[in-house]
Amino acid sequence: MRYIMILLLTAVTLLPSIAGAEINHTNKMNNNKASIIIEVEGDPHEHKQYIINHYPYVEIIAVYDKLFNGIALKASPRRFERMGSLDFIKTIHPTAIYETNVDRSSAVKLAEPIKKDAVIPAAINNTKYSGDGVQVAVIDTGIAYNHPDLAENYKGGFDLVDLDDDPMETLKAQGIPTMHGTHVAGIIAADGELTGVAPDADIYAYRALGPGGRGTSVQVIAALEQAVQDGADVINLSLGNTVNGPDFPTSVAVNRAVEKGVTVVIANGNSGPEKWTVGSPATAANAISVGAAAHPQKVPYLQESLLDKKIPLALMAGSPPWNFTTDHRIAPFPGNNVQGKIALIQRGKVPFFELAKQAEEAGAIAVLIYNNTKGGFRGSIENTGNPIQIPVASITKAEGEWLLQHAKNNSLYMETNYATTKLDIAAFSSRGPVTVNWDLKPDVSAPGTNILSTVPDGYMQLQGTSMAAPHVAGAIALIKEAHPDWSTKQISGALKTTAHTISGKDGTPIRPIVQGMGEIDPKAAINTTSILYNPLLSYGKIDSYKEKKTINLKIENTSSHDQTYTFKTPEMKRGIMWHLPLSFTIPAGETKKVPVELSVNSNLLDEGIHQGWLTLMQDEETYELPYLFINQTADYPKTMGFSFSLKPFSDEKYVYQMYVTEPADSIEVNLYNPETLIFDRTFLRMEDVDPGMVKGQLKKSELGKPGTYQAVITVQLKNGQIESHQTEVTIVKKP
């Protein structure tokens, strides 16, 4: 008997890892074969020849030598078992799960691009450039390259899931169909009924995420290296995971790609609004990580003027628009006649689609589903075979109960009105900073809500940092066309330097860990006379009673004349003192490093994150520079990304891994009965654990009895502090 453990992970954000050089494009998918990527010691090309000579039944799919040393192989699992003793195999990469960073709550598929109330990607292109001649790689779910708006700009790619040269989206016959990569590609370079940010850019597709939009680090790493090998100028990764660490393998691979001259753009993640939610590889220091800006839009709400009541509505994915212009009666359902009325339904175990369909068949003109727990929620009524024809929205439990109370006498009428929101950062957009090195992320923000773009056989509005990242990738294509001689650092520096800070309702800038430098402005980046190479000032952790830290701000004067810069004197804050050069001049065409010194008295400050803005002025230009430091400690996660799987080449051993952010005396994984919460057993214990990726093995005999458990991961830090978090683990018995 075999035991396989499956960790049910929370949804992750999408991003890449490490990739490929030699690829045999004649290989086709064989359902009886499996594919793996092995990391090797020494020259992978020599090991390739050894495998060819001694294991002729194993197909060599790719040799990786750009971002890491490895080989992609395909064979039956039994064939792989015979290779388990090869001493040059360093690592068989575990399959960390990656998913797309998208919220489909406003998703309605359209046959043609209806632009009303939608954000159009081309709107951000305020330049005369179109990305002509720039090669953009989209590492994603593939692309429907036969879409009329994409066909001309699609130039090729590779499928890292099926290991062939056809990176088409997953079709229905292959599993859960996908569309995400097509939407991303359209934002970058659609050129037809809909126009992308850079409509003349060349698009290359690398399918790293398979059915349902899920993939592993194996495919993401391979796709990233293949894109570098194929000569990409820009790589877009609208994907990721929930591990907030700078040295996770995918983040390391991204940094190496940037070092080779490729600009890598990554979605920050959709795990907001809590801080510390940015995930790898958006945590990569050299990448441009992107948050989602919420552009002004008209949103419906219900109003009862006499009772002074307003109820905001959140349309469900797959819902027609809520566009009523008169008031309508509210009626609880079931139990009341809802013909010509708005049906009010409490959320329960019945799927939202079925609830809405029942109300629609009973004659309701719209449906409100209110929560059964505190707060709001987002849902979906998508059903392509039998779509709901009336609008369906979710509301909070409190709002639903208010409606229920006032609708009992069958005389409650609610009027539909519309409010226009202000520019903001979307609540779902993941926040920084990064653990361990305390980097400020995201770097910049871009439009990420109600984005209209291409999908297979049509168009759709989607939202997520998945949609924000390709706006930045397209903008970089514009800058690359305008300045073909600029380096990757100059391009990313110009983009950050000229971003516009987004302010909240009170007029003060939204926190740096939420927006980064602010929303991008391609025209300003192209025309900038100054480039700040490292404008996001992260001073790390303050451990001493008094501490001074200095960051050398690197500034390039790209103009043809000398320029004088002045720091605005920062507002005095208790425990914080700045030492800034109040005025300095940089000659035309030269670069200068300017010391920006921070002095902290930690005893006068609360523990945790401290952040704010410094203002640098040059003539009429003003640059807002975000800063951040951690005083003593903060509430960041101490362990993340626990996973467990059968070790390749073995029926007896299992491999586990987790990411640790601080030195620990011990880490324990204890299993509990999920219903009674009674302790069952200690599954794993480690002592004297260093920060970073922790890996290990367990024998089949050590797993214990199968079942679903509540796993509690407890960390005892070196300072004596104890922290824990929970996840669900299922051990399945397999014959």
**Active-site residue (options: 180, 183, 328, 471):** 180
Task: Mark whether 544 is an active-site residue.
Answer: no
Task: Kindly state the tokens that stand for 527.
Answer: 């025309």
From residue 406, how far is each of 16, 410, 488 by CA, in Å?
Answer: 52, 8, 60
**Active-site residue (options: 466, 492, 538, 643):** 466
Residue 432 CA to its chain's centroid (Å)? 12
From residue 194, how far is each of 147, 204, 621 by CA, in Å?
Answer: 11, 19, 34
**Burial code of 664-684, b = ≥16 C-beta within 10 A, e = fewer?**
beebbbbbbebeeeeebeebb
Q: Computed from CA positions of residues 256, 103, 98, 711, in that sequence, does the dihedral angle turn out positive or negative?
A: positive
Closest CA to 617 of 660, 582, 576: 582
| 3-state secondary structure at position 491 | helix
Task: Mark whether 140 is an active-site residue.
Answer: yes
* Residue 536 one-letter amino acid: L
Task: Mark whether 466 is an active-site residue.
Answer: yes
Q: Which residues pair with 710 in a beta bridge?
A: 672, 728
Residue 718 CA to its chain's centroid (Å)? 32
Contact 188/474 with Cβ under 8 angstroms?
Answer: yes
Whether the link from the prior residue into 332 is cis, omega within 30° of 0, is: no
* Residue 287 one-letter amino acid: A
Quote the Cα angle for 276-282-288, to 5°: 120
The number of CA neighbours under 13 Å toward the Cβ of 65 is 11
How buried is residue 117: exposed, middle or buried, by Cβ count under 10 Å (0-12/13-18/19+)? middle
**Burial code of 549-582, b = ≥16 C-beta within 10 A, e = fewer?**
bebebbbbbbeeeebebebeebeeeebbebebee
- β-pairing, 70-75 with 97-100? unpaired
What is the H or E stretch that residue 655 is in? Answer: strand 653-660
Dist CA 696 CA 682 (whole Å): 16
**Active-site residue (options: 65, 93, 106, 140):** 140
Dist CA 46 CA 217 (whole Å): 24
Residue 232 CA to its chain's centroid (Å)? 21
Dist CA 100 CA 57 (whole Å): 35
Dist CA 323 CA 304 (whole Å): 17
Question: What's 306-373 look like in SS3?
Answer: CCCEEEECEECECCCCCCCCCCEEEEECCCCCCCCCEEEEECCCCCHHHHHHHHHHCCCCEEEEECCC
Q: Active-site residue numbers?
A: 140, 180, 466
